[in-house]
């Protein structure tokens, strides 16, 4: 999801549009599961809440998608990548908490770290959004100053 930019093998579809390549994940957690009661309350609630976090992320993506401009729908893909990077990092953090509780080793990443990838993608999008906001602020300031403050 985080790496999906709408291109298949680096190319748009036959009509020149970017199209989702990775389907939305489905996560169903049985909140009545008795095993959850063995976990600390905060961890249990985080696990049970995670499918709702996915729904919230998807709603944000849908909202941006409604106004995204074709053919690349850059705004929608950016929001999708951002939301799923956040979800991935949240899932990793939750998995780490569970490993600590179960006295298990942290997962080792040899050549490629999905965690670093998610962090880098989220940071890149955050930096892009900051630059975009600064550019917009400068633009509107220049409009105000050339219009005489009217």
| Cβ pair 114, 1 in contact under 8 A | no
Q: Is-cis flag, bond preceding 71, omega within 30?
A: yes
pLDDT at 149 over 70: no
Alpha helices of 66-113 — where are they, by DSSP H?
Answer: 74-101
pLDDT digits (tens, 9 = 90+) for 34-86: 777 788 989 988 988 999 999 999 999 999 999 999 999 999 999 999 999 99
Bigger pLDDT: 81 or 147? Answer: 81
9-18 pLDDT, tens digit per residue, is 888 899 999 9
Residue where the block lists tokens 């900051």: 130
34 compared with 114, residue with greater pLDDT: 114
pLDDT at 109 over 80: no
- Distance CA(12)–CA(110), nearest Å, equals 33
Closest CA to 65 of 104, 31, 19, 112: 19
**Cα distance between residue 82 and residue 140, in whole Å:** 26
3-state secondary structure of 61: helix
Examine the pLDDT at 6 and tell me if it is beyond 80. Answer: yes
Residue 23 — very low, low, confident or very high, per pLDDT cuts 50/70/90? confident
Cβ atoms within 10 Å, residue 7: 14
If you search the block for the tokens 């996560």, which residue do you land on?
27
Give the C-alpha separation, 36 to 4, whole Å.
33
CA distances from residue 93 to 44, 46, 47, 86 in whole angstroms, order as listed:
13, 10, 11, 11
């Amino acid at each position: 999801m985080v790496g999906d930019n709408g291109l298949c093998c680096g190319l748009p579809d036959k009509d020149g549009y970017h199209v989702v390549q990775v389907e939305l994940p489905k996560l169903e957690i049985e909140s009545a599961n008795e095993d959850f009661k063995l976990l600390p309350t905060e961890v249990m609630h985080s696990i049970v809440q995670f499918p709702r976090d996915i729904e919230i992320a998807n709603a944000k993506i849908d909202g941006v998608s409604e106004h995204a401009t074709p053919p690349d729908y850059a705004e929608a893909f950016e929001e999708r990548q951002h939301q799923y990077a956040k979800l991935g990092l949240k899932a990793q953090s939750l998995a780490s908490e569970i490993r600590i509780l179960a006295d298990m080793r942290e997962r080792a990443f040899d050549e490629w770290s999905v965690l670093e990838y998610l962090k880098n993608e989220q940071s890149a999008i955050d930096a892009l959004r900051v630059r975009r906001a600064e550019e917009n602020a400068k633009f509107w300031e220049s409009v105000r100053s050339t219009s005489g403050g009217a």
